[in-house]
């Protein structure tokens, strides 16, 4: 059995996706790309700059939907390649486990994670990347910042939907918050 996923039949049309978002939680993966030193400590965090659906510009994480029939590892690799390019060289274990699960809701007061389009369940991962990362597709820019900068209020204010909170949780999970 092939490890590759045939995604041709896995995509929903825009109308089908909109209808599904009105009725079902959608499963996502989110990756906090990091660079590490030889001992595994995070030296920098990669934050994308994106144009949001409402026209605003925001710092963001690598994220995207999990397709029907797609393994989580495959979804992570697909979205990392889409956002960071084919030479990002992410280090993912064979069976990755998320550091947290975030529930996004259209109502910002429900969980602190907000997506005006839908109820989404997102599995969040810290992903070391060893290669050359470059923003691609929908990303406007990629900035590597120190863990302290990524946790700072100034960067947190540039992230929307609760993703800044995910960055702080990722750094805490990795033992990198002071």
**pLDDT tens track for 6-22:** 545 556 677 776 776 67
Secondary structure of residue 30 in the 3-state scheme: strand
Token pair for 50: 């994106």
Query: Which domains are present in the chain?
Result: 18-173 (3.90.79.10)
What is the reported pLDDT for 55?
78
Neighbours of 85 (CB within 10 A): 19
**pLDDT tens track for 25-61:** 899 999 999 999 999 999 999 999 988 777 788 999 9
Secondary structure of residue 33 in the 3-state scheme: strand
Q: Taking all residues of the chain, what is their mean pLDDT, rounded to a whole number?
A: 88
Average pLDDT over residues 128-138: 89
Q: Give dist(CA 60, CA 84) in Å, integer.
A: 12
Token pair for 69: 């029939």
What is the reported pLDDT for 20?
64
What is the reported pLDDT for 2?
43
Q: Give dist(CA 151, CA 164) in Å, integer.
A: 8
Q: What share of the chain is helix, strand, coil (3-state, %, to 5)?
A: 25, 30, 45
What is the reported pLDDT for 1?
38
pTM of the prediction?
Answer: 0.86
> Residue 55: left (phi > 0), alpha (psi -120 to 50), or beta?
left
């Amino acid at each position: 059995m092939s490890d590759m996923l045939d995604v041709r039949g896995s995509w929903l049309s825009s109308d089908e996706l909109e209808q599904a978002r009105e009725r079902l939680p959608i499963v996502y993966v989110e990756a906090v790309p990091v660079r590490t030193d030889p001992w595994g400590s995070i030296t920098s965090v990669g934050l994308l700059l994106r144009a949001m659906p409402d026209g605003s510009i925001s710092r963001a994480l690598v994220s995207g939907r999990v397709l029907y029939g797609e393994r989580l590892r495959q979804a992570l690799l697909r979205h990392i390649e889409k956002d960071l390019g084919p030479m990002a060289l992410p280090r993912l274990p064979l069976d990755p486990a998320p550091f947290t699960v975030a529930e996004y809701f259209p109502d910002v007061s429900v969980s602190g994670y907000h997506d005006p389009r839908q109820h989404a369940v997102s599995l969040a991962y810290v992903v070391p990347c060893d290669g050359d990362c470059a923003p691609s597709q929908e990303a406007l820019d990629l900035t590597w910042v120190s863990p302290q900068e990524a946790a700072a209020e100034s960067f947190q204010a540039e992230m929307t939907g609760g993703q800044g909170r995910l960055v702080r949780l990722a750094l805490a999970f990795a033992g990198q918050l002071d």
